[in-house]
A = this chain, B = another copy of it.
């Protein structure tokens, strides 16, 4: 049971998976679940599951398993999902609009707290029933009702400047959809989602496979 700062990143990522499959298990009326079952549902190993939980405490009953409902609330608490997190979308182009209307956000307890853009042609328009606001009002809005996370969906060239506006507004967590390595103060939490990097990863694997087959075939 380590301190929070020392939890391995991969463990945190897996907590999300456990949370997801447990939510389904509960919907299906399951009341207890073993590490083996949880491992099967997530594609991980039972030892991994138990080790991951052990960083935070001991939640199971020996000989029985984990009480689904209780484990689920524990995970919710660890992940900070007890009350819905408020999310602002910065950059209301095609991608930003798509995310604003994504039902998976709401169903997982995230609340789209606002849409922001710096393009006067967009400001004031309705997108998925929400009015697009000037990114300049982000600081005031955040001061009024805090925003937990900003989602950055601006064009590449505007990414660094927009990220700085977000940080200056006082927001300290950022989900960056642009393929730009943002330079921000160290206290700001950033996660990157880079579609082109993922495509390049797949492309690498395809090439590697092709090379391996060439070698074997010839």
Interface set of A (CB-CB < 8 Å, partner B):
4-5, 7, 12-13, 15-17, 19-21, 41-43, 77-81, 85, 87, 93-95, 97-99, 101-102, 104-105, 108, 110, 148-149, 156, 172-175, 179, 181, 189, 191, 193-208, 210-212
The answer to whether B95 and A102 touch across the interface, beta carbons within 8 angstroms, is yes
The answer to whether B212 and A5 touch across the interface, beta carbons within 8 angstroms, is yes
The answer to whether B189 and A202 touch across the interface, beta carbons within 8 angstroms, is yes
The answer to whether B5 and A208 touch across the interface, beta carbons within 8 angstroms, is yes
Within the complex, the shortest CB–CB distance from A38 to chain B, in Å, comes to 12
Within the complex, the shortest CB–CB distance from A110 to chain B, in Å, comes to 6
Q: In the assembly, what is the distance between CA of A148 and CA of B199, in Å?
A: 10
The answer to whether A191 and B202 touch across the interface, beta carbons within 8 angstroms, is yes
Q: In the assembly, what is the distance between CA of A138 and CA of B4, in Å?
A: 47
The answer to whether B205 and A173 touch across the interface, beta carbons within 8 angstroms, is yes
The answer to whether B16 and A78 touch across the interface, beta carbons within 8 angstroms, is no
Q: With contacts A80-B207, A97-B94, A181-B42 known, is A201 near B102, CB below 8 A?
A: no
Q: In the assembly, what is the distance between CA of A3 and CA of B104, in Å?
A: 40
The answer to whether B94 and A199 touch across the interface, beta carbons within 8 angstroms, is no
The answer to whether B204 and A79 touch across the interface, beta carbons within 8 angstroms, is yes
A95 partner residues in chain B, CB cutoff 8 A? 95, 98-99, 102
Q: In the assembly, what is the distance between CA of A21 and CA of B181, in Å?
A: 10
> Which of A77, A80, A93 has the most chain B CB atoms closer than 10 A to its own CB?
A80
The answer to whether A203 and B12 touch across the interface, beta carbons within 8 angstroms, is no
Q: In the assembly, what is the distance between CA of A172 and CA of B199, in Å?
A: 13
Q: With contacts A85-B199, A195-B193, A212-B5 known, is A204 near B15, CB below 8 A?
A: yes
